[in-house]
């Protein structure tokens, strides 16, 4: 090798091939705060999105729909603490959500308690119920665990349907007595306050789940998901850690039931059905189990489609189609199931994997060369 070759300056990389600085990487930690602020100011917006919502963003109907979506986004994030982050498949998670809904309604309507008292007692009772039932169910594993949780949920559904003690209203449900509620949470004009309450619940659940996941307990839970025997070899008790996750998820679901009861103005038996737990499972899988924002997005999108597809199925656009198309499209569950199947087939990691899967495609697109200084 000659001296001229050694002393030669390195080849200059063309500007269009030079690596681009991650200009947005510094802003990424602040994106959740920005999203929270944007969501908080939605009620002040008069933007009208025809076909997306039935009215402007600040209309009571739209805010109520968004509030329900936010509640189920938080509920899916809490369920992901079991399924996606710990690896426990529970078919009875709806029981603790129903405990929050019916507990609040019964204590306010039948017991005459103030809302704050009813909410505290309901969340505490739902958490204790999750701890007691989890202590029994976690003696089993795998499919047996799923069946035991389903059995507990079915017992709760039967008690509600048979109007146990005359408290639940049976199949007709139990309307909420609004006379005992704060005036700020009563009436169509105050739907915005319920929306903010739902947003606060979602923020609380996301904060708790992320704090737990980033803690030493969260790392143990992730180890249980991957290999439970390894955790036992390390001298840790898997049963205790799984019980903590089960109890915490049940408590968060009970808190969501309190908010949901206020939004819809009462309790109905459908919140006790096993179909609700299956819907939560679909939400988590649709968004991406074990990811930071996937379950939240999956829960919000699922509930939005669940409500909007009913209106879509009865629209003139669907009714004007041939019978072989209009009949299936008029069934919301058929459309929702089709969307879920396609999403799982093309994006197995859920909505959270979109960025990773689209990155190669975006890199393959031609870029304009940057101007030289």
- Over the stretch 79-110, which tens digit does the pLDDT of each residue have? 999 999 999 999 999 999 999 999 999 999 99
Of 8 and 252, which is predicted with more confidence? 252
Going from the C-alpha of 74 to that of each of 103, 176, 255, 358, the distances in angstroms are 19, 23, 10, 27
The rounded distance, in Å, linking the Cα atoms of 344 and 348 is 5
The rounded distance, in Å, linking the Cα atoms of 198 and 67 is 5
pLDDT for the residue 365:
59
Closest CA to 96 of 149, 142, 48, 147: 149
pLDDT for the residue 21:
45
pLDDT for the residue 343:
80
**DSSP letter string, 2-26:** -HHHHHPPPPPPPGGGSPPP-TTTT
Of 164 and 5, which is predicted with more confidence? 164
**DSSP letter string, 207-273:** HHHHHHHTSHHHHHHHHHHH-HHHHHHTT--HHHHHHHHHHHHHHHHHHHHHHHHHHHTEE-GGGGS
Render pLDDT for 310-336 as a digit per residue (tens, 0 to 9).
777 777 677 777 777 778 777 777 888
The rounded distance, in Å, linking the Cα atoms of 179 and 108 is 9
pLDDT for the residue 260:
97
pLDDT for the residue 221:
93
Report the half-sphere exposure of 129 (CA within 13 A, side-chain side). 25
pLDDT for the residue 16:
43
Given pLDDT bands bounded at 50, 70 and 90, which one contains residue 369? low
* pTM over the 0.75 mark: yes
The number of helix segments (H) and strand segments (E) in the chain equals 16, 2
Hey, what are 66's tokens?
Answer: 């968004």
Of 6-15, 114-123, 196-205, 289-298, minimum mean pLDDT range: 6-15
Average pLDDT, the chain: 85
Average pLDDT over residues 228-234: 87
pLDDT at 2 over 60: no
The CATH H-level superfamily of 54-273 is ABC transporter involved in vitamin B12 uptake, BtuC (1.10.3470.10)
The DSSP call for residue 51 is T
Given pLDDT bands bounded at 50, 70 and 90, which one contains residue 6? very low
pLDDT for the residue 1:
47
Of 80 and 347, which is predicted with more confidence? 80
Closest CA to 262 of 203, 191, 204: 191
Q: How many CB atoms lie within 10 A of CB 290?
A: 20
The rounded distance, in Å, linking the Cα atoms of 287 and 295 is 5
Inter-residue contact 281 to 83 (CB < 8 Å): yes
Of 340 and 60, which is predicted with more confidence? 60
Going from the C-alpha of 227 to that of each of 69, 78, 216, 232, the distances in angstroms are 34, 22, 16, 9
Of 169-173, 203-207, 219-223, 340-344, minimum mean pLDDT range: 340-344
pLDDT for the residue 5:
46
Average pLDDT over residues 143-158: 94
Of 202-211, 289-298, 299-308, 331-340, minimum mean pLDDT range: 331-340
The rounded distance, in Å, linking the Cα atoms of 188 and 64 is 9
Q: How many CB atoms lie within 10 A of CB 256?
A: 30
pLDDT for the residue 55:
85
pLDDT for the residue 213:
92
Of 366 and 155, which is predicted with more confidence? 155
Hey, what are 65's tokens?
Answer: 């729909």
Q: How many CB atoms lie within 10 A of CB 368?
A: 6
pLDDT at 13 over 90: no
Hey, what are 345's tokens?
Answer: 């087939």
Kind and range of the H or E run holding 97: helix 94-105
Of 260-264, 276-280, 324-328, minimum mean pLDDT range: 324-328
Of 297 and 26, which is predicted with more confidence? 297
Closest CA to 255 of 64, 73, 99, 36: 99
Hey, what are 140's tokens?
Answer: 């089993």
pLDDT for the residue 15:
43
Average pLDDT over residues 340-365: 73
């Amino acid at each position: 090798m000659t001296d001229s070759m050694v002393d030669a300056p390195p080849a200059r990389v063309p500007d269009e091939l030079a690596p681009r600085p991650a200009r947005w990487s510094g802003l990424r930690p602040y994106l959740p705060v920005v999203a929270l602020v944007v969501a908080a100011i939605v009620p002040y917006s008069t933007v009208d999105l025809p076909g997306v919502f039935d009215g402007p963003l600040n209309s009571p109907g739209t805010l109520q729909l968004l509030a329900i979506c936010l509640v189920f986004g938080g509920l899916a994030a809490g369920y992901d603490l079991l399924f996606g982050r710990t690896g426990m498949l529970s078919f009875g998670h709806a029981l603790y959500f129903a405990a929050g809904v019916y507990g609040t309604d019964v204590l306010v309507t039948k017991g005459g308690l103030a809302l704050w008292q009813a909410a505290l007692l309901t969340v505490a009772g739902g958490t204790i119920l999750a701890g007691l039932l989890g202590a029994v169910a976690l003696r089993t594993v795998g499919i047996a665990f799923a069946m035991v949780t389903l059995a507990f949920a079915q017992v709760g559904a039967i008690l509600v349907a048979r109007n146990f003690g005359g408290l639940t209203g049976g199949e007709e449900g139990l309307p909420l007595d609004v006379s005992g509620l704060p005036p700020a949470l009563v009436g169509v004009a105050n739907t915005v306050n319920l929306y903010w309450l739902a947003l606060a619940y979602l923020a609380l659940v996301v904060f708790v789940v992320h704090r737990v996941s980033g803690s030493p307990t969260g790392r143990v839970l992730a180890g249980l998901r991957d290999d439970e025997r390894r955790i036992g070899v390390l001298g840790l008790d898997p049963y205790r850690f799984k019980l903590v996750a089960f109890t915490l998820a049940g408590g968060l679901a009970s808190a969501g039931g309190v908010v949901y009861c206020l939004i819809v103005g009462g309790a109905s038996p459908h919140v006790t059905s096993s179909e609700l737990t299956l819907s939560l499972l679909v939400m988590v899988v649709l968004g991406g189990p074990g990811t930071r924002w996937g379950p939240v997005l999956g829960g919000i999108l699922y509930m939005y489609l669940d409500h909007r597809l009913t209106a879509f199925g009865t629209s003139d656009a669907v009714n004007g189609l041939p019978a072989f198309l209009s009949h299936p499209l008029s069934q919301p569950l058929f459309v929702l199931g089709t969307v879920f199947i396609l999403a799982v087939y093309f994006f197995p990691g859920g909505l959270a994997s979109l960025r990773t899967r689209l990155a190669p495609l975006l890199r393959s697109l031609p870029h304009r060369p940057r101007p030289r200084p």
